[in-house]
Structure 1
Amino acid sequence: MSLSLSPAFSSVVARLRAAGCVFAEDEARLLVSAARTPVELDDMVDRRARGLPLEHVIGWAEFCGLRLAVDPGVFVPRPRTEFLVRQAAALARPGAVVVDLCCGSGAMGAALAAVAGPVELHAVDVDPAAVRCARRNLAPADGKVVGTVYEGDLYAALPAALRGRVDVLVASPPYVPTGAIGLLPPEAREHEPQVALDGGADGLDVVRRVVAGAAGWLAPGGHLLVETSESQAEQTAEAVARTGLAARLTHDDELDATAVIGTWPGGART
């Protein structure tokens, strides 16, 4: 009997549909395949039906073709951020020094390293739970270390030796205005950390801090890539330009993804 025709699978689909899960059949397949016992499956379906993000229930998320650990309480990487990875990969040569600020689970750094080839990757997050998860993804037990993860507030957590050496600096910082947090889906506002969502009154508090500090860390010809919303893109680009970087906007309609890219002028610093 195929999985889709089994009584257990049908029961899971029915429970998920009753809970309002739009993609009940797809989620049921993932839950059934992830559960090791019927008791564990029942518990996982119950947690999903109560509104926990699917990724927190099964323990992983697919991002840029990779299966990456996502622990409960950690920000779930969004498909739109794959656009930022593609933009960064096009700018990162093999061996590049790459920094991922507000790294969350480490998904973006892991994907960039996989796409761009061997890079010197450094990732930072202020949330201890995110740092623990990122270390699982970037320094796994098999010994194949992808990158180094630091706990702290943006640039303050980075080794001083990286100043002026960073070729690609990527950031998907919180950019939801405080007043709009309540409009997010319950999965996000109730189960993901506020620090990964809340960008302040206009959503740009952390974005501005990322932009303001970038020039001191970029190598000549280095690039800053920041994810933002389409409505915030012009303000973000203006902030990037004020730091002396050449700024440009890029957008992907299919993913509804927007990025601002700033490039530090080539040549030696004065």
Structure 2
Amino acid sequence: MLPADVSDITERLRAAGCVFAEDEARLLAGASSSPDEVEALVSRRVAGEPLEQILGWAEFCGERVAVEPGVFVPRRRSELLVDVTVGLLEGERVVLVDLCCGCGAIGRAVARRAGVELHAADVDAAAVRCARANLDGLGTVHEGDLFDALPDDLRGRVDVVVVNAPYVPTYAIAAMPPEARDHEPRVALDGGADGVDVHRRVIDGVHAWLRPAGHLVIETGREQSALTVAAMEQAGLTAEVVTDDDRDATAVVGVRR
């Protein structure tokens, strides 16, 4: 039985449309040290701010990763990228690039499971700051636009580039949940007219960085997967689609011929 005050929080969250209101009420109450602090956190959640940004962390691959307000919140579906990437790694100290890294959750999860020389990059300053905290001691985080952020000495020697670039078509952003649409950076959501603009930019630039037979792993949507495959094949990569129904996840894996 929930305490009365937490029950009240649950009802407020449920009325605001929170599907997992009871779990969220416990987390918000547990993160507070006074009634005033509880009220402040609950009010932020009722107003639509993502729970993870309020708590300061998100759960990803069984660990808590730091998430600041205004930073893209890693989704469970992106755990598929971790599984696929780890399965591609062979040997010791392989070179991994986590492009469009956000808070660094994907690179962190891979580095926890495999020995890698990890380089992560994002164009958003807040995401870079967050990633540097999450990847402290695990890798190097660079700020900049896609491959422009990376040091030149990585050219031609990267084993895997893993990418969670935006793939929501511009027209569909208005229909996204307010917690994403209003509180996550547009640059992390907007994939252009058909959702694959950033994918094409990544694919066009990846050859200079991958070693021969190196891999490119990109998260995409079910509706966008054929377009992502087409872009890879047009650029001379062999591509295949990988799906995970339990996590509602889709990725395209390309290999440099």
TM-score of the alignment, normalized to the shorter chain, above 0.5: yes
Q: 1:8-47 alignment to 2 at 5 Å?
A: 8-47=5-44
Q: 1:135-154 alignment to 2 at 5 Å?
A: 135-139=132-136, 145-154=137-146
* Whole-angstrom distance in 2 between the partners of 1:131 and 1:21: 29
Displacement after TM superposition at 1:11 (Å) = 1.9
- Identify the residue that residue 99 of structure 1 maps to in structure 2: 97
- Identify the residue that residue 76 of structure 1 maps to in structure 2: 73
- Identify the residue that residue 162 of structure 2 maps to in structure 1: 170
Q: Secondary structure at the match of 1:62?
A: strand
2:242 to 240, 246, 250: 250
- Identify the residue that residue 58 of structure 2 maps to in structure 1: 61
1:42-92 deviation digits (Å, cap 9, x = unpaired): 111110011100001101000011100000000000111111111111112
- Identify the residue that residue 106 of structure 2 maps to in structure 1: 108
* Whole-angstrom distance in 2 between the partners of 1:214 and 1:129: 25
* Whole-angstrom distance in 1 between the partners of 2:33 and 2:105: 25
* Whole-angstrom distance in 1 between the partners of 2:217 and 2:37: 41
Displacement after TM superposition at 1:262 (Å) = 0.7
* Whole-angstrom distance in 2 between the partners of 1:194 and 1:19: 24
- Whether 1:228 and 2:220 are equivalent positions in the alignment is yes
Amino acid of the structure 1 residue aligned with 2:165: P
* Whole-angstrom distance in 1 between the partners of 2:213 and 2:196: 25
- Identify the residue that residue 232 of structure 2 maps to in structure 1: 240
- Whether 1:207 and 2:202 are equivalent positions in the alignment is no
Q: Secondary structure at the match of 2:88?
A: coil
Q: 1:113-132 alignment to 2 at 5 Å?
A: 113-115=111-113, 117-132=114-129
Displacement after TM superposition at 1:192 (Å) = 0.4
Amino acid of the structure 2 residue aligned with 1:119: V
- Identify the residue that residue 131 of structure 2 maps to in structure 1: 134
* Whole-angstrom distance in 2 between the partners of 1:246 and 1:189: 34
Displacement after TM superposition at 1:151 (Å) = 0.6
Cα RMSD over matched residues?
1.1
How many percent identity over aligned positions? 59
Displacement after TM superposition at 1:8 (Å) = 2.1
Displacement after TM superposition at 1:96 (Å) = 1.2
Amino acid of the structure 1 residue aligned with 2:111: A
Displacement after TM superposition at 1:254 (Å) = 1.5
Please say if residues 215 and 245 of structure 1, whose CA atoms lie closer than 8 Å, have aligned partners that are also in contact. Answer: no
- Whether 1:194 and 2:186 are equivalent positions in the alignment is yes
1:180-202 deviation digits (Å, cap 9, x = unpaired): 11010011100000000001111
Please say if residues 69 and 136 of structure 1, whose CA atoms lie closer than 8 Å, have aligned partners that are also in contact. Answer: yes
- Identify the residue that residue 142 of structure 1 maps to in structure 2: none
Q: Secondary structure at the match of 1:220?
A: strand
* Whole-angstrom distance in 2 between the partners of 1:122 and 1:5: 45
Q: Which aligned segments of 4 or more residues in structure 1 are displaced greater than 2 angstroms?
A: none
Displacement after TM superposition at 1:241 (Å) = 1.6
* Whole-angstrom distance in 2 between the partners of 1:175 and 1:130: 18
Q: Structure 2: state its 5+ residue gaps.
A: none
Q: Secondary structure at the match of 2:231?
A: helix
Displacement after TM superposition at 1:244 (Å) = 2.0
Amino acid of the structure 2 residue aligned with 1:91: L
Please say if residues 64 and 82 of structure 1, whose CA atoms lie closer than 8 Å, have aligned partners that are also in contact. Answer: yes
Amino acid of the structure 2 residue aligned with 1:48: R
Q: Structure 1: state its 5+ residue gaps.
A: 140-144, 266-270
Displacement after TM superposition at 1:105 (Å) = 0.6
Amino acid of the structure 1 residue aligned with 2:110: L
